[in-house]
Amino acid sequence: MNYLIIDVGTSSMRGILFRSNGKMLHVVQKEYQVISLENGLIEQNPLDFKNSMKEIAKVMADFSIQEGEMINAIVLTSQRSSVIPVDREGNHLCNAQMWQDKRTVTICREMESYHREIFQLCGSRVNPVFSGTKMKWFKRNRPDIYEKAWKLIVIPDYLFYHMTGNFFTDYTYGSRSLLMNLKSCSWDERLLELMEIDKEKLCELKAPGSIMGSTTKKFAEETGILEGVPVISAGGDQQCGMLGQGVVEHGDVSLTLGTGGFLLTACHEIPQHLDWDVVCNASSVSGEYILEASMLTCTSAMEWFKQNFYREEQNFYRRLNEILNDIPAGAHGCRALPYFQGRSTPDWNSSATAAFCNVTLNTSREDMLKALLESICMEIWNNISSFEKYVPTDKILVSGGFSKSEAFNQMQADVYGKRVVRMNNEESTAIGALMVAAVAMKEYRTIKEAFSVIRDGAKRKEYQVRKENHVVYEKLKEEMEEIYQKMQEKRRI
């Protein structure tokens, strides 16, 4: 069978036609941009998504005809928490309020006293990222749109409707809304009450891997894809990316090193003693769960340092490797805190700031850079430690721009005290979606079996722990936490 995977990202949408064994037949990409407004407001025209999807489908339909191929199923994975109010025909009533949008900060602060109750029901604290707070904002601030809206939906729901005519969503998106009970995977009456949302404004929930409907006659006429092709929800992009990256065994951790750092691991069930130092969401593997943690600045912190201290460097990344190899663990005593945009997990401290400490006249910019990157790894280690309260961890599977640095990957292994593995991770999100769909269509029995076939032969490199360095970093981690706590105490005075 051939699967058309549609991967909806923040800056572009990709369409990839795969065989069920992972062979890539054709790729199409359509770029778009968010609209950045004042005061942290981030929006986007929903037609960017609808039109990009249709353009990708047209190209793929033409390709399949020319090459004598079939498109046996369409599979969708998407960014998870942006909200679009729509009418009965799926027409948007205003721009999408994107996941990065900050207009709900005040609402979130008002709800701080409900953090514990909300977390126990849905596995997440109140946060501006999640779709439920955005829906509440519409009800309070744009009641005209809220009342007119037939549904308040996220981007994948919007695309499902325009392919199938059905208003469905899946558990992975529901678990990013603060509205879905994580245990029952149903809309929760108490959460709806707290968020002031009417249940009828929400889509029907289905398990990831479900067929959300089939392509309509209208969609077929507009794109050239046959009518009646099944449309499958593979779940959120982070969930699928985790699978495609190789987290198919419990104990593995997926770490994406981009602008921020994003960590995920899998668990069979919701941990009984779960606390809010992590987020618990539904997995793309039906009936299972994931734990998520994050840090807000990774490559963005390094880019800040580069712009301020290495702007003249022609080949910064080669120099970076040299610095990490030449400067010993501990950066000659220089210490850093990487909280340029506050701290997310484990303690959700938006007032935290970055700092350099123990800087002397002997401290070089190379020492400061090494200290900054060590602090980033240390913060990631804090989040891995949070995971280990619930799920034992074995190895760390890394991807993203930062992971291209050999020296940085070695430093990660030394800091975490665990093997670090970098796989050829191109299209890991789409590959994860393919795995979910192929299992749903009974081509493989399990996700693990699908991974073993689809990712067979993928190049990978493993980095082993240098124990002498890990001993140094164990002490440094304690020092970093002491510095952080002292700074918080001063801020409270």
* Angstrom distance (rounded) from CA 197 to CA 200: 9
Token pair listed for 248: 């198919």
Please state which CATH class domain 2-235 belongs to: alpha beta
- What does the pLDDT read at residue 164? 98
- What does the pLDDT read at residue 381? 96
- What does the pLDDT read at residue 424? 78
Q: What is the DSSP letter of 349?
A: B
- What does the pLDDT read at residue 425? 67
Residues whose CB is less than 8 angstroms from the CB of residue 303 and which lie 6 or more positions away in sequence, other chains included: none
* Angstrom distance (rounded) from CA 213 to CA 202: 17
* Angstrom distance (rounded) from CA 25 to CA 291: 33
Scanning 327-427, the segments in alpha helix (DSSP H) are 365-387, 406-416
- What CA–CA distances, in Å, run from 380 to 238, 348, 431? 17, 14, 25
- What does the pLDDT read at residue 267? 92
Q: 356 - beta bridge partners? A: 336
- What does the pLDDT read at residue 145? 98
Q: Are 80 and 124 in contact, with CB atoms under 8 Å apart?
A: no
* Angstrom distance (rounded) from CA 376 to CA 297: 8
Parts of the chain belonging to CATH 3.30.420.40: 2-235, 246-425+459-493
- What does the pLDDT read at residue 310? 93
User: Helices 237-245 and 428-440 sit at what angle, rounded to 10 degrees?
Assistant: 90
- What does the pLDDT read at residue 66? 97
pTM for this predicted structure: 0.90
| Per-state percent for the chain, helix, strand, coil, to nearest 5 | 40, 25, 35
Domain range 246-425+459-493, CATH architecture: 2-Layer Sandwich (3.30)
pLDDT along the chain (493 residues), means of 10: 95 96 96 90 96 98 97 96 97 95 92 94 92 97 98 98 98 97 98 98 98 98 98 96 90 89 92 91 95 90 93 89 96 96 86 94 97 96 95 91 91 97 85 97 96 90 97 96 91 72
E strand segments, 52-125: 73-78, 83-86, 96-97
Token pair listed for 176: 């990013």
* Angstrom distance (rounded) from CA 136 to CA 139: 5
Q: 28 - beta bridge partners? A: 15
- What CA–CA distances, in Å, run from 368 to 18, 332, 358? 45, 9, 10
* Angstrom distance (rounded) from CA 72 to CA 70: 6
First to last CA, the chain: 64
Question: CB-based burial of residue 431 (10 Å sphere; 0-12 exposed, 13-18 middle, 19+ buried)?
Answer: buried
